[in-house]
A and B are shown apart, each in its own frame.
Chain A
Amino acid sequence: MRKKLLSAVLIGAMASSLLAGCGSSAQQSAAGAGTKAVSGETKAAGDGSKTIKIGAICSLTGGSAIYGEGAQNAITMAAEEINSSDSEYKIEIVNGGKVVDDASDAKQAINAYNSLMKESPDAIVGCFFSSVTLPIAEQASKDNMLLLATGATNKDVTLKGPSIFRDCFIDPYQGKMAAQFAKEKGWKKAAVIYAKDDDYSNGLKDAFIENAKANGIEVVYTGECTTKDTDFSSQASQVVAKGADFLFYPCFLDTVPLLVGAARDAGFTGAIMGGDGWDGADTKGVEDKFDNCYFTNHYSSEDTAPAVSNFVSKYKEKYGTESLNACAALYYDAVYMIAEAAKNAKATDTPSLIKGMTKMTFTGVGGTFTLDENGDPEKSVAINTFEGGKVKWLMTLSPEGTKK
């Protein structure tokens, strides 16, 4: 799965290098956009334009179409809310208010980006997947375009340039939060099983081990596996033999039922935890084994915090629950963050927005967070558990500790 992602990224990299030919034209048009932005700035300084033009990219077709639907609804809703409020700055979604499709494909994503740039937006929101966001981030940083990535959790995205930000946490951050959760629960001896052939898994594992020590948790066993493995009985019996009371398994959903089954069969009764890769894991037939299992995620619609319940109830009323996912919440926050950046900088042109966005502190559906020097947020994570095999929100954990 990750390999596919990697190859998609590589293809993206190739595509962007191939596009170097037309890249010059893209850059020219981007430069054109830049001069326009500059003229926009003078205009902003002159007549004080109060409208922020935002372009949005997400996946509208294919298997991930449900994310694009959520994103479209969320940005429309956020723009309507801001425009009908007494906010000084108004939002205009370019491309006639429509999200542009990246088809979950790196090459398509660059096309989507170029088509948006023709409308000379002040900021771009997207994408949801790291593989498609990376090439866009590359180009956006060349164009000095503000890119606010939503679901792209790969840590390299914001390292592409100072104009790239995101409103989701980065992958390894979940390892840190898992360690914090274990500390709050009073678990002392942790075991880790991770897929050594997977970047995501390695990132979470390293962050977990580093932070476990800082939180006074002893890591008693570290076992490797691969993303293709089906047998975890050896690792599971080592977990039991080392007396661990907590097992961290930062891998993807398809092997989660096998790992949980193997651990329970080996007599492990402690907590088992994973990251957002667990979201959507199939618990059918092994429901009872998923008791005392947890995973971190971007947000949960069951969260009782006012900002979340407000967003959830408004969204449900307008669009129903089907497309109400983490993606919608992240795009919703993204529009508000750009409006906030305009307020901070008191202008709507791109350089001002970038200045306003840098190191901003923001409160929204994703909780209260501050962007660090890379443009990544240290934000709350939702911790989900299982009840009778069904995912259930347990708590929202903020980096400073439990607030609720």
Chain B
Amino acid sequence: MTFSLFIQSLINGLNQGAIYALIALGYTMVYGIIRMINFAHGDFIMIGSYTLFYTIPLMINAGMPPWLSVFLAIVICAGTGVVVEVVAYKPVRKAGAMSALITALAMSLFLENLAMVLFGAKPRNIQKIFDLPSVSVFGTSLPLNVVLTIGIGIFMMAALQLFIKRTRMGKAMRAVPQDRDASILAGINVNKVITVTFAIGSGLAAVAALMYCAKYPRVTNDMGSMMGLKAFIAAVLGGIGVIPGAMLGGILVGLIEIFVKLFAPGWYEAITYAILIIILLVKPSGILGKNAGEKV
């Protein structure tokens, strides 16, 4: 492997990884607060992408930079997230983890098929979002939007971490999973905390959608399922519920995929998942996960 090929793949891997990381943040956040795996999270990215698809031409017509659409996408994704939570998840929350999981799977399929009815099954191309040049680094071309994706990923992670550690709402978010009843006694509105969590997690999906579409400018109704699964794996790999873990897991999965694909493209998924299994065998709670047993 030549040096330039290595650098190029490193960049590709970081880019792919940063996208996975952004999605994994959403999984981890929801899981960290309410101990529920929101399988519909990948489909929020699809919703964000369709929002981008329909609003980018409007932005261009209005003479504004296309990436501003992401704010609309954040609003729509966060709104969808809250609606999904209130309508579908909240009523089954007391019925136990399994019911919530099944509801989330059903919601995922529902959203995918609803999108197929509304927008059609034909893939759509998204217009260019960032018009950034490529720079030459060590003899390889480095598209600047890759740097931007990675930068946004790190920024979102840091901001999220600060929010959870430093704000009152963040404190409440940390308190709820520890002891829900005690949180209520301490004056925390648990339902509000969960709703805010969903809003933030889904908003993150919109940002992930922006970065995904900047690299792979195509929207389909089922784009969220595979991507969501990979990001979920990334979240588990890093230690689900741990925010820096999602970032680490995402980047790792991205890098492993890209480098395996370089030499054995047919094998990349098999090898990626094999590595996941091995890591979990060695450290069942994920790389950054706390080994202390969870109270389930």
Q: Which A residues fall within an 8 A CB radius of B?
A: 196, 223-225, 228, 230-231, 233-235, 237-238, 241, 254, 257-258, 261, 265-267, 282-286
Contact = CB atoms under 8 A, between A and B. Distances in A.
B110 interface: no
Contact of B9 (A196, A237, A257, A283): A237
Contacts of B226: 228
A257 B217 contact: yes
B80 interface: no
B261 A267 contact: no
Given A233-B9, A254-B123, 11 more contacts: A223-B265, A228-B226, A231-B16, A233-B12, A235-B265, A237-B12, A237-B262, A238-B5, A258-B216, A285-B126, A286-B217
B96 interface: no
Contacts of A267: 140-141
Contact of A266 (B8, B15, B123, B220): B8
Contacts of B78: none
Nearest to B264: A224
Nearest to B269: A226
Contacts, number: 71
Nearest to A257: B125
A285 B217 contact: yes
Given A237-B9, A237-B12, A282 B265 contact: no
Contacts of A238: 5, 262
A258 B220 CA distance: 13
B201 to A, nearest CB: 23
B90 interface: no
A231 B125 contact: no
A267 B128 CA distance: 18
A230 B216 contact: yes
A226 B287 CA distance: 30
B293 interface: no
Interface residues of B, number: 33
B218 interface: yes
A52 B206 CA distance: 63
Contact of B258 (A223, A234, A261, A265): A234
A266 B128 CA distance: 17
A230 B8 contact: no
B113 interface: no
B61 interface: no
Interface of B: 2, 4-5, 8-9, 12, 15-16, 122-128, 134, 140-141, 143, 216-218, 220, 223, 226, 257-259, 261-262, 265-266, 268
Contacts of B134: 265
A198 to B, nearest CB: 13
A235 B261 contact: yes
B265 A234 contact: yes
A283 B217 CA distance: 11
B5 A261 contact: no
A224 B8 contact: no
Contact of A282 (B123, B128, B141, B223): B123
A254 B266 CA distance: 20
A224 B265 contact: yes
Select the residue from A196, A223, A233, A282 with max chain B CB neighbours within 10 A: A233
A286 B215 CA distance: 12
Contacts of B216: 230-231, 258, 261
B8 A237 contact: yes
Given A233-B16, A234-B265, A261-B217, A282 B125 contact: yes
Cβ-closest 3 pairs across A and B: A234-B261, A224-B266, A233-B12
A398 B226 CA distance: 42
A258 B15 CA distance: 15
A285 B128 contact: yes
B125 A284 contact: yes
Given A228-B226, A233-B258, A284 B127 contact: yes
A231 B218 CA distance: 11
Nearest to B146: A265
A289 B258 CA distance: 23
Contacts of B128: 285
Contacts of B122: 254
26 contacts: A196-B266, A224-B265, A231-B16, A231-B258, A233-B12, A233-B15, A233-B16, A233-B258, A234-B12, A234-B259, A235-B265, A237-B5, A237-B262, A241-B2, A241-B5, A254-B220, A257-B218, A258-B217, A261-B216, A265-B134, A266-B141, A267-B141, A284-B125, A284-B127, A285-B125, A285-B126
